[in-house]
Structure 1
Amino acid sequence: MKKALITGITGQDGAYLAKLLLEKNYKVYGLYRRISTPNFWRLQSLGIYDKINLISGDLSDLSSILNAFKASEPDEVYHLAAQSFVEASFESPLATAEVTGLSTTRILEAVKLYYRDTKVYFAGTSEMFGSAYNDKALNENDVFKPMSPYAAAKLYGYWISRIYREGYGLFISSGILFNHESEIRGLEFVTRKIVNEVAKIYYGLEKKIKLGNINAKRDWGYAPEYVDAMYRMLQADKPDDYVIATDETHTVEEFLKYAFDYVNMDYHKYLEIDKKFLRPLDVPALRGDYTKAKKELQWEPKTKFPDLVRLMMGEELKRWDMYLKGEKFPWDVPNYPNENNLLKTYRGNVK
């Protein structure tokens, strides 16, 4: 039985990847940061919480990482943990550099010193490309021009991974993943924010949705399919870097329109542009060319953009419906506190 260690296992990708590896008969270990309020709802929602060996640790501490390696003795390491919210990286650039950037070197040092046969996956991001291109389909050979502390930290992780791969002969592959969403995306991301706000407007709990740059174009895919690409990279004969994307772009406004269309409402009546949601620097468009992944990994996306929005809207409406009926969630979903004002508004509307 193969053993895998996933950092950031409580996040969207970590949870889906853990589920995939369990289905492939792996013994899965997950490194997570201990916080006052447990954040295991994604693992619970996928029905795998009790099937994973959880290890609390701190990515800023090499001894903590070494303890996780000793406990798991992994054949494969998937380094997904990061401060991955672009807007927050402008507010906390040093923390972003520490968690998103330097943690990668600590992981690789552990592999180099003690676990040289362990294969490593590094989670890169399309944000590393920045604004160097205008809606061009980007591949592994295009130039990077990061435009946020998050993207810069990820680019450090990407290059240090290549240095350790080429300098020490380690098996390290990097996935340059373009935007990928799902029903368990965090509320800090614009896609989940949109479906959450649309659901609240549908139930009469809110009157407006406030957004920043609705003209930004992104290449949006479905997260469960993207973690399959991660797995395939570590099953390949040799390590390499791969763009994972759909080769299509859609604006934030399009996402908003599809979300409101799901509940038969006109988004124009509810949209409000708020400058506080604009970033100091913003990437106008990102589109990925996944030709290499298709050729070498036999990977390609399946879920189309409209279907992605429908999946997310359907789940969000289900959650709010359960909450407003006073039913208990089948798992502990955060961000739905017992807000009496919302319940009063809802009950007043349905009388």
Structure 2
Amino acid sequence: MTKKSALITGITGQDGSYLAELLLTKGYEVHGLVRRTSSINTARIEHILDKIQLVQGDLTDESSLVSAIRQTKPDEIYNLAAQSFVGSSWSQPIFTAETTAIGVTRLLEAIRTTGSDAKFYQASSSEMFGKVQATPQNEKTPFYPRSPYAVAKLYGHWITVNYRESFGMYACSGILFNHESPRRGIEFVTRKISDGVARIYHGLQDELRLGNLDSKRDWGFAGDYVEAMWLMLQQEKPDDYVVGSGETHSVREFCELAFGAAGLDWEKYVKIDPRFVRPAEVDLLLGDASKAKKVLGWKPKVTFPELVKMMVESDIELVAGEMKRKGKIPRSN
């Protein structure tokens, strides 16, 4: 039996690395799209580099996408690449639109013009709900984006729907709520907290500056969520699905659990800094994944407390390693 082939854009990111691992366990030939840069950050996929194949390409260059598709001949394409940080989208709105929005069209066009029959997955985001019109949010909840990132994701979402309906393409969007892990980028608040806790634990800093502690999110484990992506492309018909834990927690709760996991009192270290408050805040996101559970048979496995503990323990170990390399003595447990 011929191996299935998958092309993952954004393979060096959090989701891309977990998805690549999952597909390898299922016997796929995995290809990852990487940009033409002098140095590629492969830290998240270092342990599987010998099992995957990297191909050059860029969401801002359609010809490179056409070339990548012709070269890899994928059965499935997962578009996880984007300018994915909400905060940066305010300082880089044009770049965010070029990659996170128009980049989706370039990739869909590349699939269409090459005549590929690859199934397509688009990484949509709960940020599209923004100023929520109903709680919890499901596939029928109206969108109200509140950042350039969310607006760009909404374009990517709707262009995917349009190509599916206009050209009969197997194209799905996963509207994923916040999903974290030890591989999360340091610029995201959850990882900023777990890293801050680790540095305070080891005596490298004495405070953690954050923005809105009352902001609430539906947080899950990225390793669980990539399974939902795969399941979407295994169905008879393409469709869009909300993927979330069905629970909401505040940044304050995350802090309490994170500092608690290190035996620290969060209130002694967390300081509010107006610089980290967004121009337009999203106060509450809560996903209703009933459809994904019913149709895909998907459900999250890692609980919120388990996720926070996992991230803190990982960062305490990571920071200890950094200290040893610099000749410093980390705190022992």
Shift of 1:103: 0.7
1:135-174 alignment to 2 at 5 Å? Answer: 136-174=135-173
Cα contact 1:129–1:146 (8 A) shared by 2: yes
Q: Distance in 1 between matches of 2:291 and 2:125?
A: 16
Q: Distance in 1 between matches of 2:294 and 2:156?
A: 25
**Pairing 1:17–2:14 present:** no
Gaps of 5+ in 1: 327-337
**Pairing 1:274–2:273 present:** yes
Paired residue for 1:283?
Answer: 282
**Pairing 1:218–2:220 present:** no
Cα contact 2:133–2:143 (8 A) shared by 1: no
SS at match of 1:287: coil
Q: Distance in 1 between matches of 2:244 and 2:132?
A: 18
Cα contact 2:210–2:272 (8 A) shared by 1: yes
The one of 28, 35, 41 equivalent to 1:39 is 41
Shift of 1:323: 1.9
Cα contact 1:233–1:239 (8 A) shared by 2: yes
Paired residue for 1:29?
Answer: 31
Shift of 1:131: 0.8
Cα contact 2:132–2:285 (8 A) shared by 1: no
Paired residue for 1:324?
Answer: 323
Q: Distance in 2 between matches of 1:97 and 1:243?
A: 23
Paired residue for 2:80?
Answer: 80
Q: Distance in 2 between matches of 1:93 and 1:320?
A: 33
CA deviation string 1:46-67 (max 9, x = no partner): x211111101222111111011
Q: Distance in 1 between matches of 2:285 and 2:132?
A: 10
1:49-128 alignment to 2 at 5 Å? Answer: 49-128=49-128
Whichever residue aligns with residue 138 of structure 1, its letter is Q
Paired residue for 1:265?
Answer: 264
Q: Distance in 2 between matches of 1:184 and 1:132?
A: 28
Q: Distance in 1 between matches of 2:299 and 2:91?
A: 35
Q: Distance in 2 between matches of 1:145 and 1:126?
A: 10
After TM superposition, the score normalised by the length of structure 2 is 0.96
SS at match of 1:78: strand
Shift of 1:297: 0.1
SS at match of 2:233: helix
Gaps of 5+ in 2: none
**Pairing 1:311–2:313 present:** no
CA deviation string 1:218-238 (max 9, x = no partner): 000000110000000000010
CA deviation string 1:160-209 (max 9, x = no partner): 00000001100001000000000111101000000101110011110100
SS at match of 2:301: coil
Cα contact 1:208–1:271 (8 A) shared by 2: yes
Whichever residue aligns with residue 40 of structure 2, its letter is P
1:169-248 alignment to 2 at 5 Å? Answer: 169-248=168-247
Q: Distance in 1 between matches of 2:112 and 2:35?
A: 24
CA deviation string 1:11-57 (max 9, x = no partner): 0000000110011110010001233432100001xx21111110122
Q: Distance in 1 between matches of 2:116 and 2:31?
A: 19
Shift of 1:116: 4.0
SS at match of 1:65: helix
SS at match of 2:127: helix
The one of 8, 27, 30 equivalent to 2:10 is 8
CA deviation string 1:65-99 (max 9, x = no partner): 01110110011000010000000000000000000
Q: Distance in 2 between matches of 1:175 and 1:92?
A: 24
CA deviation string 1:133-181 (max 9, x = no partner): 36x1110000000000000000000000000000110000100000000
SS at match of 1:39: coil
Whichever residue aligns with residue 22 of structure 1, its letter is L
SS at match of 1:113: helix
